[in-house]
Structure 1
Amino acid sequence: MAEAQQALEEEEEEEVGGGGGGGEKVVEDSFSAPLGSDLQESTLDARETKSILMESQVRAVLEAEGGKGAVMTSWNVIRQKESSLHFGSIVVKLKIHFLKNNEPLEKTYVLKHNPNFNPAFTAYVTMLFNKEISFYKTLRPLLHREISATSHTQLSIPRCMFTALKEGREIIILEDLNSRGFQNIDRKKGMDVAHASLVMEELARIHASSILLKKRLGPDEMRSQFDFLKRTWWNYMEGAEEMFIINMEGHLDIAASVLQKLGGHEAAANWVTALKPNILQMIQGQTKDNPPFDVLCHADCTISNFLFRYNGDQEVSKVVVLDFQMCLHASLAIDLSSFFFCCLEGPIRRANHKVFLDIYFQAFSRVLRAAGQVIPFSLNDLAEEYKKKILYGAIMAILVVPLLAAEGGEDDEAPSLETIVDDKSFLVQRQDKLRKCLCLNGPLRTRFLDIFRDLIDLGIIQNQLP
C-alpha cells in the first residue's frame, strides 16, 4: 500500500488522526531483508527484535513520514518503563535516527508485535493481530471519512504507519502519542468523572460513525467487507470454544474462591460458580446482534486502552482510544458495561452511570443529526439496553480486576508466557497468585466486591449485603 496519512511533525493539528477526509493509507512490507549490520546504533534490544522487525520495514515507515529525502542512519528499540508485555502483544518504542537536508533528526513510534513465545497461543495471537491490522487498514479510514463528512473532528484513534501480517511476525507500528502529551493513568485506580466523561463521548463518536458507514454500505456489504469482526476468542479456530470455556471457568473459580475466603459473600460465590456451565452461551448471548444498537464495538474497554492529555491547568482535555485487537460487531452496550465495570470504582459507577449514559447519548446524537440521520433509539431505550448487557461488563471485570491486583509488584506475580504449556497450565500457575494478590490489595479488593454489590442491587444476585 502507499504512504501513511501525514507527517508526525504536524503537531499543531489538534485532533488525533490529522486532517483530511479519511484518505489515510497504511504501509505494508514484503519482508525483503533482515536488519543490516551497518546500522551503528542497533542496541541489544534491537538485535533481539531483528527476527521480527526488518530494515525494509523501518525504512518504509521513514519514507512515509519523512519523505524520500530522508536518509536513515540508525534505529533502536526502547523498552518502556512500565510493563511492555501484554497477553496478546509486545509493545515497545521504535526510534529512527535520520538525516534530512543534512540535518540530524529522529522520530519515535509505538511498535506492537507478536510475542511469539509459545505455540500454545499462536493461533489466538494471530487472530488478534489479524483483527487489529484489518481494522487499521480497512475500517479506520472509512470511519474517519464518515465523521469528517459531518464536519465533526476526526476520531481519537492512533494513526497507523505500518502493518505486516506474517504468522509469528505480525507487526503494527503506530504514532507515538506520548510525544504529543498523551499519557496513561494508573490502571489500578478507577477513573474520575472528568476522564470517564471524555471516554463516553469518544466511544459514542466511534459507534455513531460505524452506524453511518453501515447505512452507506448496507448491512450485508458491511458484514462482507469486515468479516474479521465476526472472529472472536471463542470461534477463531476449531477447539476455540473449549479453550474459552476452560479459561473463563478458571477466572470464575478465582472469583468464587476469593469471595469465599473473604467471608460473608456466599450467595455471590454460589452465583459465580453457577455461571460456569453456561458461560459461553451467556457471552454469546450478550454479544449477538441486537438492532438498532449494533455498532463497531471496541470490546476491550479497560483503563490501559485509553490515553489522556491535559491542559495548562492539568485538567484532562482529550482522550485517545487504543488497541482494537478485540473489536467486533455487537450492541454498543457491551462497551458501556465493560467500561463502567472495568474502569470505574463502585461509588463512581453507581452515582454517575445515568450521567454518563446521557453524555454518551448526546454525543452519539450529535454525530447522527449532523449527517441528517434519525436517532434510532431514545435515552430510555439506551438505559434499558445497558441493563440487559450489564452481565458482560461484570464478567469482564471479574477477569480484569484480579489481573490488576497481580501486576507491578516487587515480585512479578503474573506467570511468564515463556513458561506456559497450554491454557490449563497457565490457569494453574496463576490461580493461587491472583487469588492471594486480590485478597491482599485493599482498593482492588473493594473494587472487586463492588461488582457483586451492584449485581445484588440490581436483583441479579439474590442476597443481602454483608
Structure 2
Amino acid sequence: MSCPVLPRFYEVTSLLFPRVQLGVQLSSITTEVKGGQRVDDILNRVAVEVVRRNACANICDCSTPLRRCNLRRQLHGNCASIRAEDTNVGHLGLYTVDCLVAVCTGLLYGIMSDQRKPPMLPNLKGEVPGTREVITEKLVIACLRADKGEDAVFQSYKIKDFTKVGDNYISVVTSVQVQYTLGEKDHQVGYVVKLNPNWKFGEATDVLREFFSKEGGFYKEIKPVLDQELMDIGLPCLRMPHCHLFNPKEGAETLFLEDLRDRDFKMFDRRKGLDLDHSLLVVKELARLHAASVLLQKKSEVDLTEAYPYLKDGFMSQDTDYESFTNIFRGLIGASAQLAKACGGYDNVVAYLKEELEPNCMTIYRKMLNPCGPFVTIIHGDCWTNNFLFRYDEKGRPVELMLVDLQIVRKSSPTTDLNYLFYTSLNGSDRRKNLEKLLREYYAAFQEVITSGGLEMDFTFQELLEDYKTRNMLGFLKALIIMPTVLKKDGERFTLSKLDGENMKTVMKETEQLTVTLSNDPVIKERFLSVLDDMVVSGVV
C-alpha cells in the first residue's frame, strides 16, 4: 500500500513548523533503524496505517482547536499502538514517535481540511535536554486539571526553557506553555517545572530523592495546613507559589508550580547584595513561616518530624555519612581558603580554614543545625538570593516577596535561616548597619502570628539575638561554601552536574584554581572579605 501524499512531507512540515526543518531533525536522530530500514520507510508505513485507521473514524474537520486536539490525541494513540505492535517501530524513542505524530497530523490535515492554520503540537526545539522524557502529556494534563478543574480540555503543550546559567544549582528548571479550552473559549497557561537533575556521583541519587521528597511533601502536605493556621487567625497565606502537581517517581521527580512571572515576580541579581527594603520583605516572610509552624506544632499530638518524616535531618544527619558531599564541602572551603590567601592579609583566617574548619566542616554544620530550647521551627533551609522572587511597583521599589525552593526544608532554629540569609545575600556594610533593625522586624512579625494565635512568645528579642550570634558559624560556613560559586559571572561556576564517580578530585582542583582568580573581582572580594572580617570580630578566629 502506498501513501500518495508522502511527497508532500517537506511542504506539510514547513507549514506546521516554519522555523524547523523536521525532516532534517528526524535524519539527525537516526538515518538507519532496525533491519536496515530508513526513517522515511517507517514514516511511510506508519503514516499509511494512521491514515487508514483514522479514515474510518470520519475525522475530517480540523476547524477548531478542540477538534484539532481530539485529532492529535487519536493520532498519538494510534502511533503508540503501532509502536507496540510493530517490532521495527517499537524500539524508536518517544521523541521520534512524537515526530511521527506531527508528520501524520500534517498529512491528515493536508488531506482532510482546507484550513492552513497548523494544529497545536508540542515544541520540538529549545528544550532542556531530557525534559521530553520526564514532562509527559499525561503529567501536563494532570497539572492542568488540578489547576483549572476537570472541565478544562487539554489541547497541546510546549516546553519552553527560560533560565540561564547561575539560576539553579540543585534542580533543572524549565516551563511548559499549555493550550486548553474551557467554556468554549481557548486559553493558555504557563507552569514552572522543576526536575531531578540526576547527578552521577556517589550518594547523589539518595540525596536528590530526599530533596524532592522534602519540597513535594512541603507543598502538598505542610503548606496547606500552615496556610490554614494563618487564615484561621485572619492573616494571609504564606507567600509561595502554588504547587499543582508533584510526581514522586524515582529518578523522574517533577514539580509543576505556578509561574510567578505571570504576576510580575522577578529574580534579584545574585551578584548584588540585598538592600534593606528587599531584606525586610524576606525576614518578615520567614518569620511568618517559622511562627506558623509553631502554631501547628502546639496543636499537634506528635512532633512534626513524626507527622512529616521528610522534615528530619536526612543527609545532614549524624547517622548519615555521605562521603561525596563531605568531600565537596571540604573542597569548597579549601577553595575559599586559597581565595583568602590570594586576597592577602588574612593569614590567621587561612590557617583556621585549612586546619580547623575544612576537616571538621560537617561536624560543625550539623551542630549548628541542632535546635535547642524554644528555638525550634520549620525552616526554609536554603535562604539565599536566588530563592526569593520580588514584585516591584512603578518606581522600582520591591513591594511583595515569594519564597521558592523548599528542597532543604527541615526543623531547626529559625536563626539558622537568618544567618544563612545575612551572610550569603547581604553586603557586609548593609549587614552590620541593618542587623538590629532586621532582627527586630523579624521578631515583630513572628510575634504578630503567635499572639494572633492566642499564644505567648517563648523567647524575648534579646534571647533571639543571642541565639543568632550562637549560630553565626552556620552563616560563615554557608558563605564560604557557596558565595565564591554563586557570585561568579555566568559560565564560571562550579556545578554538581560536572561530577561523576571518577572525576571528583579533578573537578574540585579546577574549582579551587578558578576560585583563586576571583580575588580581582571587586564584587566577590567585598562580600567575601566582609565574612572573613566578621569571623575575626566574633572571635571565631
Q: Please indicate the TM-score interval, normalised by the length of the shorter structure.
A: 0.7 to 0.9
Distance, in Å, in 2 between the alignment partners of 1:374 and 1:385 is 19
> What's the offset of the Cα at 1:382?
0.5
Q: Which residue of 1 aligns with 2:379?
A: 297
Q: Which residue of 2 aligns with 1:3?
A: none
- Corresponding position: 1:79 with 2:161: yes
CA deviation string 1:127-179 (max 9, x = no partner): 11111111112111111111111111111011100001111100001000111
Distance, in Å, in 2 between the alignment partners of 1:301 and 1:341 is 10
CA deviation string 1:331-362 (max 9, x = no partner): 11100111110110000000010010000000
Q: Residue 283 of structure 1 is aligned with which of 365, 369, 374?
A: 365
- Corresponding position: 1:333 with 2:441: no
Distance, in Å, in 1 between the alignment partners of 2:287 and 2:535 is 25
- CA gap of 1:404–1:371, structure 2 versus 1, over 3 A, is same
> What's the offset of the Cα at 1:418?
4.8
Q: Which TM-score applies when normalising by structure 2?
A: 0.75
> What's the offset of the Cα at 1:237?
8.4
- CA gap of 1:175–1:84, structure 2 versus 1, over 3 A, is farther
Alignment of 1:9-24 (within 5 A): none
Kindly indicate whether the alpha-carbon contact (under 8 Å) linking 1:413 and 1:434 is maintained by their aligned counterparts in 2. no
Q: Percent identity?
A: 27
Kindly indicate whether the alpha-carbon contact (under 8 Å) linking 1:95 and 1:109 is maintained by their aligned counterparts in 2. yes
Q: Which residue of 2 aligns with 1:41?
A: 122
Q: Which residue of 2 aligns with 1:444?
A: 524
CA deviation string 1:276-304 (max 9, x = no partner): 23222211111112120110011111100
Q: Which residue of 2 aligns with 1:170?
A: 253
CA deviation string 1:183-202 (max 9, x = no partner): 11101100000000111100
> What's the offset of the Cα at 1:404?
2.0
Alignment of 1:39-438 (within 5 A): 40-44=121-125, 45=127, 48-83=130-165, 86-118=168-200, 120=202, 121-218=204-301, 220-235=302-317, 239-240=321-322, 242-273=323-354, 274-409=356-491, 412-414=492-494, 417-418=497-498, 420-421=500-501, 423-436=504-517, 438=518
Distance, in Å, in 2 between the alignment partners of 1:201 and 1:416 is 32
**Which residue identity lines up with residue 332 of structure 2 in the other structure?**
H
- CA gap of 1:252–1:426, structure 2 versus 1, over 3 A, is same
Number of paired residues? 425
- CA gap of 1:236–1:152, structure 2 versus 1, over 3 A, is same
- CA gap of 1:418–1:383, structure 2 versus 1, over 3 A, is closer
Give the secondary structure class of the aligned counterpart of 1:349. helix
- CA gap of 1:196–1:266, structure 2 versus 1, over 3 A, is same
Give the secondary structure class of the aligned counterpart of 2:475. helix
Distance, in Å, in 2 between the alignment partners of 1:149 and 1:246 is 46
- CA gap of 1:425–1:102, structure 2 versus 1, over 3 A, is farther
Gaps of 5+ in 1: 1-31, 462-466
Kindly indicate whether the alpha-carbon contact (under 8 Å) linking 1:46 and 1:76 is maintained by their aligned counterparts in 2. no
Kindly indicate whether the alpha-carbon contact (under 8 Å) linking 1:92 and 1:111 is maintained by their aligned counterparts in 2. yes
Distance, in Å, in 2 between the alignment partners of 1:190 and 1:406 is 14
Gaps of 5+ in 2: 1-76, 81-93, 102-119
Distance, in Å, in 1 between the alignment partners of 2:220 and 2:364 is 32
Distance, in Å, in 1 between the alignment partners of 2:128 and 2:495 is 25
Distance, in Å, in 2 between the alignment partners of 1:339 and 1:413 is 20
Distance, in Å, in 1 between the alignment partners of 2:131 and 2:297 is 40
Distance, in Å, in 1 between the alignment partners of 2:426 and 2:128 is 38
> What's the offset of the Cα at 1:236?
9.7
CA deviation string 1:38-96 (max 9, x = no partner): 46233232884221112111001111222333222211111115237733210011111
RMSD: 2.2
Kindly indicate whether the alpha-carbon contact (under 8 Å) linking 1:402 and 1:435 is maintained by their aligned counterparts in 2. no
Point out which structure has higher relative CO (alpha carbons under 8 A, 6+ apart): 1
Give the secondary structure class of the aligned counterpart of 1:183. strand
Report which stretch shifted further, 230-239 or 164-173.
230-239
Give the secondary structure class of the aligned counterpart of 2:365. helix
